[in-house]
Structure formats: C-alpha cells, structure tokens
Structure 1
Amino acid sequence: MTEIFPPYQQQNADAALHGWSVDIVRQIMNAAQLSYNIDVMPWARAYKTASSQPDTLIFSLLRTEEREGKFAWIAPLCPMRVSFYTGANRTDVQAADIQSALKYVVGVENGQANYRYLREQGFRESRNLVVVGHNHQLQQMLELGRIDLMLISDLYVAQLPDHGANLRRVFTAHALEKYLFLAAHPATDPKLLQQLQQAWRTIRHQALPDCQLISKPPF
C-alpha cells in the first residue's frame, strides 16, 4: 500500500500508478515472481494498516530511528530531503533553524515522520502545528495565510506545476535526510522477506534506480 506523493508515487490521467518508487517496487515484485496489488490510500491509513497486518508491504516509508523496530526493511527506494517552505511573498517569515521556527505556525501531513519530528521539537496542534490529510492541502493553507511554513520534500516542490515558483525554501531539516524504503510488518513471513530482499539485490546489481544516482543522504 502507498499514497499519492509525487514524484515517488503519482497517477496519470487514467489513474495508472507510476513514479520513482512505484517503478522500483514493481521491479522488485516482478523479480521475486510474486503477484500483488497496490492500494492507494491516505498515508495515515496506509501506515496504520501496515503496522497491524502481517504480510503487508508499505512504501515510500522514511526509515527513522523511531520506526526501526516497527517494520521489516526490505529495500531502499529513493533518498529524500525535507525542508521548511513559505510563500515567496512572505518576507516576514525568517528562520534559520528549528528553534527559530517555533514562533511560526507549521503545516505537516498526518502520519508522516515529519509530524513526529515536529512534535519532538516542541510543536503542538493547539499552538503552532496544523495537521492535514495530504500535502497538496498545505500549499492551499499557505496561500490562505492559515500557516506560515510547511515541512515537505524538496522533490515534491520541484515537481509542482510551477516548480515551486510561489514558494521559498527557508531551511532544510537535516535530521530527516534519509532514504524512503519498501518495508513490511515485522511479523511478515521470513521466507517472503528473504525472497523480496533477494529480488532487490538482483535488480540493484543490474542497474541502480535513477533516483539513487541523483544524490544520497547526507545531501
């Protein structure tokens, strides 16, 4: 299961799923000679399902210390850099680090590692944190002045129709510079996990995915 998160997972006009991570996952599943379905849903529901149902896979899941023991990690898909963005016309928003950002209202997608990171840094929903169901809502809230900053992937901004022309990157959350993974519930059949990991090793030796050739953490 996954969510819509361009350019890693996206849909074209006929709703066909594609993207950097999708292409790698399909290669892994085909190399493992496994039949599968990819269900697209809001990230919070995908995360909850993969956390509770064995033999369920999820992508693209950021590998963090907090999540380390909660999933079986199958394959690194793409690197991700996450930054705080504001509107290009918001010259009043100035922050050099996470501490100076605490005075602003920050928007984040529900269920993401970004959310937990903000909570750990002192952000709270009752004061300076707004949680939404999907990333595209953050830009709308920024335009309406309901938030001052949003914490999102740099590549997500780059693939927007205007390539982020109306946004300004304020600073990067270096603590979140990690790989997105294909992962599974930890109680998933060990033979299935081994089969998938071997499939990843096979396709990796044939050719590294394009997104892994662009850059890797730390950026």
Structure 2
Amino acid sequence: MARSRTAGALFALFISAACAAQAELPANYQITLQTDSFPPFNMGPNSKGFARGDDVQGIDADTVRDIFRRAGIAYNLTLRGPWSRLYEQTRQQPAHGLFSVARTPQNAGQFKWVGPLAHHASVLLAPADSGLKFDSLEQAQGYQIGGHANGSVSLFLESQGIATSNSLNDAENLRKLLTGRIDLWAVADPVWRHYARLQGVDESQLRIALSYRSEPLYLALSPDTPDEVVKRLQKALEDVIAEGYAGCSKTPDLCYLIQERGTTLAGGR
C-alpha cells in the first residue's frame, strides 16, 4: 500500500511539474509568423506573393506548422514581402517569427533560433552560352552580379567583398540575366529552378558557374521570445527529424533538401 501511495504521489508531482511548465507562457500567447516567397521552401498558391494560413505552401512552411502544432503554441501565418521589412519586424517587435532565415555570425545575436528546417546551396548562375565557369568566388570579381536585397546569398557575397546589384525578388533577377543586364545571378539552388519553370525558361538555357556554399535555414524568433517557447519548438523539430523525412511528404523529390538537418543539429550540440 505504501508503494502505491508513493507511486501516486510521484505521478501527481510529475503532472504538477508538467502543468507548471505549460503555465510559463503568458496568457493567450501567440506568435505572428511571417515569410516571403522562397520556393520550394515557402510560397503562395499559384506563385502568388501573398498568402495566409494553410495557403502558405512549401517544405519549410509544412515543417513550421507541424512543430507549432506539436509544441502547442498558437500562431498566425502570413506570406508577403519585402523580406527586409519582415526581417526588421521580427528583430524589433515582440512575439514575431520569420522563416526561412540563414543564421550567420552577423545576425546570430539578433534573434532566438529554432532549426535547422532545411538546407540550400548558394550558386552563381550564368546563361548557358556565356561560357562562364569558376573555381572560386574570387574569379567572379568584376562581373555584374544580381542578388536578392537583404537575402542571405547576397549578404554572404557582400561579406566576402563581392558587390551585388540587388532586386526585390529573384524573378526580376532571372529576367535581368536573360536580357544581359547582369552577368551572373547569385541565388539559392533549387530556388532558381522554380522561377525558370514559372517564366517558361528551360533549365538548359542556364548553367551553374559556381556552387560555393551549403547553408541551413532556420526559424528566427524575436529576441524577447520566452525560452520556454524556443525549447518546445526545438524539441518538436527534433522529434520531426528523428521520425525521418517528415516535412516533405507532399514533395518527395525535394526531400534531399532536409536530409542534412539531423547532421547539422547533432553538430551544433
């Protein structure tokens, strides 16, 4: 009987502790989640630049919805632009989140982080008939390079002393590349493939002049985000990763974009 009472007391203590942990969040706590068009990681239906809730598509959007559900944290989700405005809102306003964000030495202290959600490669793209092919970024110096304003691909090049001529979206960069207004397009792979299909451009018209960086993508949260929120979301993501390739069941051909996130997670511990 004593053993039964002891077990009951321990169970009650466990439930009490679990409830206390849940109670750490403010009443009616909700995160305003935002992202912009960055296919196939996040995008609107029919390539629209604005979407809400379940209309926001993509492998990162699917993962983010899943981990918020598992963590029991309320949110609202909007896809819109420009990226620079969303970035500043997340950095300066409470209870905001932004994905898919590359974590860099420059921005690591500006947010709280959950990830990695996925990976992409950074490439320099050229017209197929240009003959351009590089072994290093240094060889691209002096060429007119188009980039996405405040995007991680452009910001990395700038950190390496390589100037970019930035547009507000990558669709414009593809048009510039094909009309000779830029020599190279600094873009994430496979993002460029989506825009090529969208504009009716065969991939054979373009060539990767240099693939120079593999980069993980994260959910960035406002710096005032309660640690309990970060802990719950990260635990939920680790559960998703442990289950395998959950998060891209709708697009199995894109699962290679999340295969490395478990390795990155383990390496960061």
| CA deviation string 1:41-85 (max 9, x = no partner) | 221111111111122111001122222222211121111111100
Q: Which runs of 5 or more residues in structure 2 are unaligned?
A: 1-33, 249-254, 264-269
Q: Could you say what secondary structure the match of 1:153 adopts?
A: strand
* Paired residues, number: 211
Q: What is the TM-score when the length of structure 2 is the normalising length?
A: 0.72
Distance of 1:8 and 1:60 partners within structure 2: 7
Distance of 1:47 and 1:163 partners within structure 2: 33
Pair 1:2 & 2:35 matched: yes
Distance of 1:143 and 1:158 partners within structure 2: 14
| CA deviation string 1:144-175 (max 9, x = no partner) | 2110001111111333415623211001122x
Pair 1:27 & 2:66 matched: yes
1:136-151 mapped onto 2 (5 Å cutoff): 136-151=171-186
Task: Give the alignment partner of residue 134 of structure 1, picking from 134, 153, 169.
Answer: 169
Distance of 1:215 and 1:149 partners within structure 2: 29
* Letter paired with 1:178: E
Distance of 2:105 and 2:150 partners within structure 1: 15
2:98 counterpart residue number: 58
Distance 1:163 1:42, change over 3 A: farther
Q: Could you say what secondary structure the match of 1:158 adopts?
A: helix
Task: Give the alignment partner of residue 221 of structure 2, picking from 184, 191, 197.
Answer: 184
Distance of 1:138 and 1:27 partners within structure 2: 32
CA deviation after TM superposition for structure 1 residue 135, in Å? 0.9
Distance of 2:130 and 2:171 partners within structure 1: 19
After TM superposition, where is structure 1 displaced by more than 4 Å over at least 4 residues in a row? Answer: 212-215
Q: Which has the higher contact order (CA 8 A, sep 6+)?
A: 1
Distance of 1:45 and 1:19 partners within structure 2: 21
Pair 1:43 & 2:79 matched: no
Structure with greater proportional helix content: 2
Distance of 2:150 and 2:211 partners within structure 1: 20
Distance of 1:64 and 1:212 partners within structure 2: 22
Q: Is the contact between residue 42 and residue 60 of structure 2 (CA under 8 Å) also seen in structure 1? A: yes
Pair 1:80 & 2:113 matched: no
Identity across the alignment (%): 26
Q: Is the contact between residue 73 and residue 229 of structure 2 (CA under 8 Å) also seen in structure 1? A: no
Q: Could you say what secondary structure the match of 1:18 adopts?
A: coil
Q: What is the TM-score when the length of structure 1 is the normalising length?
A: 0.87
2:237 counterpart residue number: 200
Q: Is the contact between residue 157 and residue 163 of structure 1 (CA under 8 Å) also seen in structure 2? A: no
